[in-house]
Structure 1
Amino acid sequence: MRAVSYGLGSLLRPSASGSVARAQATLRTLTTASSTARTTRNATPPASSASRNIVRRQFTSTPARLSDPSAADAPSIPPPLKGIRIVDLTRVLAGPYCTMLLADLGADVIKVEHPKGGDDTRAWLPPFAQPPTGKDALKPPPGKEDYWASLPPESAYFLSVNRSKRSITVDLKSPAGKKIIYDLVAKADVVVENYLPGKLASMGLGYEDLKKVKPDIIYASLTGYGQTGSYRDKAGYDVIIAADAGMMHITGEADRPPVKIGVAMTDLTTGLYVHGAIMAALLGRAQTGKGVHIDASLFESQIASLANIASNYLIAGQEAGRHGDKHPSIVPYQTFQAKDGRIMLGAGNDGQFRFLCNLLERPELSTDEKYSTNAARVANRDTLITLLDELLQQRTVQEWCDLINGKIPAAPIRNIRGTFDEHPQSKDRKVVAEVEHPRAGKIKIVAPAVRYGDGKMKITRPPPVLGQHTDEVLTQELGMSEDEVAELRKAGSIGP
């Protein structure tokens, strides 16, 4: 009997008679059947479009040992994407971040990497995970000793966005390599890629090509500027798009040159958008039986993320500027110098400003016509900020935070060590997970961000070693013999 999971889009709709209760009862019945079914490897979905998206394969693979500090906090729902297979043809950040979020939800993500070097970020080091040595040194799988020893250390960058995935190495340009992708796609639900528009199509791996292999495939493309338009052939890089689409213009101090944000937010935002788009497409396919080509770009994700800054221009023709750490329309709302460091402090309304003035033992400031309203404070920003800066230097950052005690927005400017090692909320919310990596040993990575009821989704495996799962996928799931795999390896169609 096949193990099954059911498309949320079809199950959460009311039944034909309009009875929500009946639909919920059906869901409970089908879920029970799913939990008792035996897993069938390589189960092929039914051919009919209506049922094609109901049956989902449950893929088996032995995960590496995990040590998750939140293991006692089980999520209140099962992994919603369990049984969904994703062929991941992405590298660097936006695409891998997207597929990692899907893996967090239970999807079987097969990361396809080039045999020579793999994902670019594997070579972005230092920093890297320092493997254990001496008696604690880890042993590679039999027959992989020389290959694993030839690999560079596991880079911190790669480890940050590739948890819970499997890695296989395939040369997409070789005929045999292309056939491997076809065979994977035939048993998959989603393909995610971030090549230049038309590049994979020229290799026979575009949406129209793979749609012939799997008619209901969901194919997500992440590019710099999108599949159409005069800029379609331009490569997309986070910082370039930040410059080209408004973000860098509004980042930095007013009297200094623009600066980039401290992390690649354009890439991350695009990954989040596409993660949501794929979830929506899966729900859509459960209703219609049809796949879709998702066309996402860093350019449009960046523009969509301008939020109120974009609206200010579109509605009122108001050009934006740089304000550094200051809010353009709320005063005070910025960092200030305390006795021992800087503190972020805000007063979003007149009541909060009165509280601050009383705390500073200058209550008369809140009734001064120059400062009594936010509009007045914005108009007299320079004099008020100078005065507040002097007053706040009387105490330390921690003393001010203790006195404020959540009455108005305030926080110390923490460095990264302070964020992970000192912040009590980081410990309370278990923002760090530990996993046992087969080459690097026990490493710490950021845990998934979202809780589902009582806990977070579990990290099912550490970030993979380059090509770690090639043999597993080809033999156990594509049905190849060991001799066939050896011939592919000899021909260079797959990695060592």
Structure 2
Amino acid sequence: MGALSGLVVLDLSCHLSGPYCGMLLADHGADVIKIERPGGGDEARGMPPFVGGESAPFMLWNRNKRSVALDLKSEDGKAAFRALARTADIVVENFRPGTMARLGFGYEELAAINPRLIYGAISGFGQTGPYRDRGGFDLVTQGMSGLMSVCGPADGPPHRLPIAISDVAAGMHLCVGILSALEARHRTGKGQFVEVSLLESALSYGVYEAAHVFATGEKPPRIGQAHRGSSPYQVFETADGWITVGAAQQSFWMSLCAILDAPELAEDPRFRENSDRVANNAELVEVLSAHLRKQGSAHWLAALDAAGIPAGPVLDFDEALSDPQVLAREMVVETTHPKAGPMRTFGVPAKLSMTPGGVARPAPALGEHTDEVLASINEPA
């Protein structure tokens, strides 16, 4: 029994942003019913790589859900969805603004038959404003949010983050909004409309960059691996690989100088305080790199750990997913899909002591639970 057990969510969303929100709710016990179009379903079902003919990405962020195939343009489909919405707690969708209203299922229409309904919507640019009607993808909003402008080496073209940061951020913000609306419903008895956009979600992650603009009125420069307010705080090359070192705190900096057997660095006016090191980060990195390249990563990580300085290896994803800390925290769990067979998937990051979340079921096949769910509409209360 997860913390959200008993809540019914109708998830009409597709691709990643909305389904990610639905996954978070399902992981903590909500009954998330994924409403899909008959014949094809969520287009993410066609996203490679495939295992047993099933999309691995789709299976990861649609676990713990049930699938119902409904044609929302047909009268029967409309009637079935309306019946489900009448008793549901939450609706999630990520269509362009106005799409659901044209189908007869906008917030106003659904709230009229279910005043307690919490309606969550994700769009590219929001339900208002001059860009309201534009389609938005993660790629587009990464560029428009400023994130691309500060990613990558100091010289060269803008870099897209290889992770879909706008999508995932929007899914998480919508989940927070829905849970906030749920708490408000406990007090008022009424649901409400909750909306987020990919653009605003991506923009909100640029906290250091926004602070720079607000404080100086100037665009923040691209600084590669460096940190805007802390130094040393970045990736360094060793004799056999790469490590991260976060030694900006003064006590850590002094310990680092001792580990490197370079006490003169602590007295160098260019590097004496954190603000000095930030201003002269390029010179500092050159000096530190020369020291760190003398030994392998294991040597430095052991010394840094013994001194209590935050540091770590730079792992590839396959290494990260087999790391002992990740495994100990159950962030990789196994499930069995009816078609793909035994599968590994992410565990649940938020650990609740009394009502923990978990992975109770694999991602559903298209329409797998249609008969089961629709039969419940006509069951006596």
Same fold (TM over 0.5): yes
- CA distance, structure 1, for counterparts of residue 242 and residue 95 of structure 2: 43
Match of 1:394?
294
Report how far residue 189 of structure 1 moved.
1.1
Question: What amino acid does structure 2 have at the position aligned with 1:369?
Answer: P
- CA distance, structure 1, for counterparts of residue 334 and residue 196 of structure 2: 33
Distance 1:252 1:466, change over 3 A: same
Structure 2 residue ranges without an equivalent (≥5): none
- Asked if structure 1 preserves the Cα contact closer than 8 Å seen for 2:2 and 2:356, the reply is no
SS in 2 for 1:229: coil
Match of 2:86?
186
Match of 2:167?
267
- CA distance, structure 1, for counterparts of residue 267 and residue 296 of structure 2: 27
- TM (normalized to structure 1)? 0.74
Where do 1:326-345 residues align within 5 Å? 326-345=226-245
Q: Does 1:411 align with 2:312?
A: yes
1:314 to 210, 214, 235: 214
SS in 1 for 2:257: helix
Match of 1:87?
10
- CA distance, structure 1, for counterparts of residue 337 and residue 5 of structure 2: 23
- Asked if structure 1 preserves the Cα contact closer than 8 Å seen for 2:13 and 2:93, the reply is yes
Distance 1:380 1:81, change over 3 A: closer
- CA distance, structure 1, for counterparts of residue 196 and residue 314 of structure 2: 35
Match of 1:224?
124
Match of 1:253?
153
Q: Does 1:478 align with 2:381?
A: no
Question: What amino acid does structure 2 have at the position aligned with 1:463?
Answer: A
- CA distance, structure 1, for counterparts of residue 117 and residue 354 of structure 2: 34
SS in 2 for 1:177: helix
Report how far residue 288 of structure 1 moved.
1.1
Q: Which range moves more in the overlay, 213-222 or 396-405? A: 213-222
Report how far residue 121 of structure 1 moved.
0.8
Match of 2:50?
128
Report how far residue 328 of structure 1 moved.
2.4
2:114 to 214, 221, 231: 214
- CA distance, structure 2, for counterparts of residue 105 and residue 195 of structure 1: 25
Report how far residue 371 of structure 1 moved.
2.1
Question: What amino acid does structure 1 have at the position aligned with 2:312?
Answer: A
Report how far residue 425 of structure 1 moved.
0.5
Report how far residue 454 of structure 1 moved.
6.7
1:378 to 252, 267, 278: 278
- CA distance, structure 2, for counterparts of residue 250 and residue 292 of structure 1: 36
- CA distance, structure 1, for counterparts of residue 190 and residue 282 of structure 2: 59
Question: What amino acid does structure 2 have at the position aligned with 1:129?
Answer: V
1:160-216 superposed Cα distances (whole Å, 9 cap, x missing partner): 211110001111111111111101101211111111111111111111221222222
CA radius of gyration, larger in? 1
2:76 to 176, 180, 195: 176
SS in 2 for 1:179: helix
1:158 to 58, 62, 82: 58
Q: Which range moves more in the overlay, 164-173 or 457-466? A: 457-466
SS in 1 for 2:321: helix
Report how far residue 458 of structure 1 moved.
2.5
Report how far residue 455 of structure 1 moved.
7.8
1:430-484 superposed Cα distances (whole Å, 9 cap, x missing partner): 1111111111111110011111127841222111111110111112x1228xxxx
Q: Does 1:200 align with 2:100?
A: yes
- CA distance, structure 2, for counterparts of residue 207 and residue 364 of structure 1: 66
SS in 2 for 1:405: helix
Q: Segments of 4+ in structure 1 off by > 3 A?
A: none
- CA distance, structure 2, for counterparts of residue 395 and residue 447 of structure 1: 36
- CA distance, structure 2, for counterparts of residue 331 and residue 431 of structure 1: 31
- TM (normalized to structure 2)? 0.95
1:107 to 4, 14, 30: 30
Report how far residue 303 of structure 1 moved.
2.1
Question: What amino acid does structure 1 have at the position aligned with 2:377?
Answer: L
Match of 1:73?
none
1:366 to 266, 274, 281: 266
Report how far residue 381 of structure 1 moved.
2.7
Q: Which range moves more in the overlay, 249-258 or 373-382? A: 373-382
Distance 1:383 1:299, change over 3 A: closer
Report percent identity of matched pairs.
39
- Asked if structure 1 preserves the Cα contact closer than 8 Å seen for 2:12 and 2:93, the reply is yes
Report how far residue 290 of structure 1 moved.
1.3
Structure 1 residue ranges without an equivalent (≥5): 1-77, 131-152, 481-496
